[in-house]
Chain A
Amino acid sequence: MDRVPVLKIGDLLLVSIQVDMQDQTALALQEDLAERIVATGCHGVIIDITALDIVDSFVGRMLSSIASISRVLDAETVVVGMRPAVAITLVELGLSLDGIRTALNVERGIELLAQAREPETPDDLGIDLDLDRFGPATS
């Protein structure tokens, strides 16, 4: 049985599924990820499915489970790289991937996780602190 590698990059775990997974491989990945989240204390998981030419109900369920499991372990999951034909098929199959965050590619996924993690700064709230009122900064 193949095993899907889980890579740690900074505060993130990256999983890039490159093989046509048999069901046991998908289940093993679920367990491996849960263990790695706890072992590393990472707060974000990115699952790259660019190479998957189909997502059936079993893999769809695995993705939902991973998202739920990681949430319980204080990590957010983003699924990235879904092909258009896969998205069309998933919807027709009846899978909505509830509770799963998605992004178009790994880069956007990383941005999404960073946003989700960062506390809101005054800038994000749209408050203009207008520091100039207090005189020019001396440096």
Chain B
Amino acid sequence: MTTDVGLGEPQLVTIAADEDVVRVRQLVRTVAVAAKLSLVDQTKLVTAASELARNTLVYGGGGGAEVTVVDSGRRKGIRIVFADDGPGIADLDLALTDGYTTGGGLGLGLSGARRLVDEFDIDTAAGRGTRITVTKWAR
């Protein structure tokens, strides 16, 4: 894995097993440090990435995470896209409710991850997979 972070060059991690969630965390951490996010923001982004990568694995049946350094012109940020071809989410409002779970977890993954990032976009429908895009900006 390269620690070189080129602006706009996406880095892809395939999420197919438990240890891939760890790899996503490590990559996001490396990129967040390189983009000079504060320690608290690094921690929030890595935590959000961990939740979403686990969702991709557990609910989406595996997929991938794509990490990109983005630049708004004013500041740098990190964008991560989590995509899977799983069953999708039928009731998005419900899935984004604190404490709601179908997988026996705490039901904080999706709703908690949304609170930890600056931008959160989700594209899903039953039978169409799920694509979640999150962005965290350096302050």
Contacts and interface: CB of A to CB of B under 8 A. Distances in A.
Contacts of A84: 40
B98 A94 contact: yes
Contacts of B40: 84-85, 88-89
A53 B46 CA distance: 9
A21 B50 CA distance: 11
Given A94-B115, A95-B108, A54 B50 contact: yes
A55 B54 CA distance: 13
Q: Is the interface of B mostly helix, strand, loop or mixed?
A: helix
Interface residues of B, number: 27
B25 interface: yes
B105 interface: yes
Contacts of B29: 53
Contacts, number: 71
B47 A93 contact: yes
Contacts of A95: 106, 108, 112
Given A23-B54, A24-B18, A93-B115, A56 B47 contact: yes
A93 B98 CA distance: 10
Contacts of B105: 57-58, 61
B28 to A, nearest CB: 10
Interface residues on A, range: 20 to 34
A86 interface: yes
Given A58-B54, A93-B116, A94-B98, 18 more contacts: A20-B25, A22-B21, A23-B54, A54-B46, A56-B51, A56-B54, A57-B51, A57-B105, A58-B50, A61-B106, A85-B39, A86-B43, A88-B43, A89-B47, A89-B116, A93-B113, A93-B115, A95-B106
| Among all A-B residue pairs, the 5 with the closest Cβ atoms | A93-B112, A85-B43, A56-B50, A22-B18, A57-B108
22 contacts: A21-B22, A22-B18, A22-B22, A23-B54, A53-B43, A54-B47, A56-B50, A57-B51, A57-B106, A57-B108, A86-B43, A88-B44, A89-B40, A89-B44, A92-B116, A93-B51, A93-B116, A94-B98, A94-B112, A95-B106, A95-B108, A95-B112
